[in-house]
Amino acid sequence: MKTFDHASRRPLGNTGLRCCPLGFGGYRITQGSSEHRAALARYLELGGNLIDTSANYGLGASELLIGEVLRAAAPDDRIIVTKAGYIQGHHKMTASQHAYPDVVKYAPDVWHCIHPRFLSDQLEMSRARLGVERVDVFLLHNPEYYLKDCANRGIDVDHAREVFYRRMETAFEFLESQVRASRLGWYGISANTFGLPADRSDFVQVSRCLAIAESFQSAHHFRVVQLPMNLYEPGGALECNNAGQSAIDFARSHELGVLINRPLNAVRQGRLMRLADPPGLDRSGADPEAVLSALHSHEEAFANRFDFPLMRGGMGVGGWLGPVMHQVDSMDAFNTIIRHTLVPAAETWMMNADHTLRKQPGYDEWRRAFGEHLDRLLDGIQETLARKLHEDAGTVRSELTAAGLSRSEQSLSQLALAVLLGTDGVSCVLNGMRSTDYVDDSMQALRSPISGGQAILCRLDREGVS
């Protein structure tokens, strides 16, 4: 049963495409996950039609999953948005072999490129993974890494910008050729810095990008921009950095489609804040610091008794997890670390320890107690995080009430999405919905629209809470 009908779709700029105001973000979905597959299928079932992904999401696994789901059940008006620019993981070796020009080596694990040779290969691989002849919208993915790299190397800002926009012009020329070849429909840019002050060295200006496209021909295909925005990072709607207009206002006045990402993950006062209601508290009473100390002692006893190194080069679980538990500030991030880092490492270490020590006196007893200590520590960290998230959620609701929005019957994530959906100029808000429950909750934001989202963002910003 659809919750959102075709008649209520919004125009994606003047592309002729019409999209559900809430889009499916493919950042952390991956091929092989039945949960992610079901979430995307549910989104389509409820009437959604815009799916956002990128060549580097899961090193292509996100596009593969999307392709599989769409081959099984794709609405006639589905819109696929994908992006290219990042060179990560094993793709760095491929990039070195191809010797792509103009590669920005921003960090050991983050390379970037928007040269036509690289974009051509990325577009072909994306089309193959998605199983489409033509990508509806193709975006340059965070090209501002060139500007960031120049700032790190002390290069003059004005010079860096001139080179940056010349590279943009070269990329646009190539993308126009791909439109003519029917490999893509429309193109644009996804930049994290569209909403920043104009004097920032890594600021990317929508108006200048549009002027480059217009210099080719009036009937150009640069028609979509994507940027982050949320309750506490409203720059895209409020920062006047395009000849007196914000990025979104400028885009609206020039009929550009606007996609919003990161709607529920806000960076506030230097830390990540999740704009959603947290899970309930178990209130086990476990003090993570006390349990961590006990785990340290237990591992020290192991090191003194058995001739076998602790995991992670002798650091042990306690030595590694201690700093982590003070740095992580969201349940999602904590669970990801546990699932993808701690559990695989601990399982490998325990398997090796079992093989070597299973016949030694006292090992089985130590192993059982170790599991108990670790379980108590993880429970304690989760409870501490949940308590903090409950405090954060209460603060956000209070601030929304003060800004004129009080809807206790809606979840916090629905409210945060609804404000963005009610901001003039926004075509679609992208949300990374990785479970069917998450899809169901998010899509409810479409049932209770809010007008004047920009005014709410302005009041929040004026109160200094951002």
Structure tokens at 368: 């059982």
Q: Is 61 found in the same domain as 143? A: yes
Flag whether 159 is in a domain: yes
Owning domain of residue 296: 288-394
Q: Is 376 found in the same domain as 339? A: yes
Q: Is 424 found in the same domain as 354? A: no
Task: Give the pLDDT confidence score for residue 22 in this predicted structure.
Answer: 97
- Total count of domains within the chain: 2
Q: What is the domain-level CATH number for residue 448?
A: 3.20.20.100
> What pLDDT, in 10s, does the model give residues 215-228?
988 899 999 999 99
> What pLDDT, in 10s, does the model give residues 303-334?
889 989 988 788 888 888 888 777 766 666 77
Q: Is 420 found in the same domain as 335? A: no
On the question of pLDDT at 436 being above 90, the answer is yes
On the question of pLDDT at 293 being above 80, the answer is yes
Q: Is 145 found in the same domain as 70? A: yes
> What pLDDT, in 10s, does the model give residues 154-187?
999 999 999 999 999 999 999 999 999 999 999 9
Helix residue spans in 306-435 (DSSP H): 316-327, 331-337, 343-357, 363-402, 412-421
Q: Which of 175 and 1 is assigned the larger pLDDT?
A: 175
On the question of pLDDT at 279 being above 60, the answer is yes
Q: Is 300 found in the same domain as 268? A: no
Confidence tier at 138 by pLDDT (50, 70, 90):
very high
Structure tokens at 335: 């669970």
Q: Is 90 found in the same domain as 67? A: yes
Flag whether 406 is in a domain: no
Final residue before a domain boundary, out of 394, 421, 437: 394
Rg (CA), the chain: 24
437 near 405, Cβ under 8 Å?
no
**From its phi and psi, is residue 450 left (phi > 0), alpha (psi between -120 and 50) or beta?**
beta
Q: Is 157 found in the same domain as 81? A: yes
Q: Is 258 found in the same domain as 202? A: yes
Flag whether 123 is in a domain: yes
> What pLDDT, in 10s, does the model give residues 342-378?
777 777 888 888 889 888 998 888 888 888 887 777 7
Q: Which residues of 215-229 are buried (b: 16+ CB within 10 A; e: fewer)?
A: eeeeebbbbbbbbbb
Proportion of the chain above pLDDT 70, given as a percent: 92
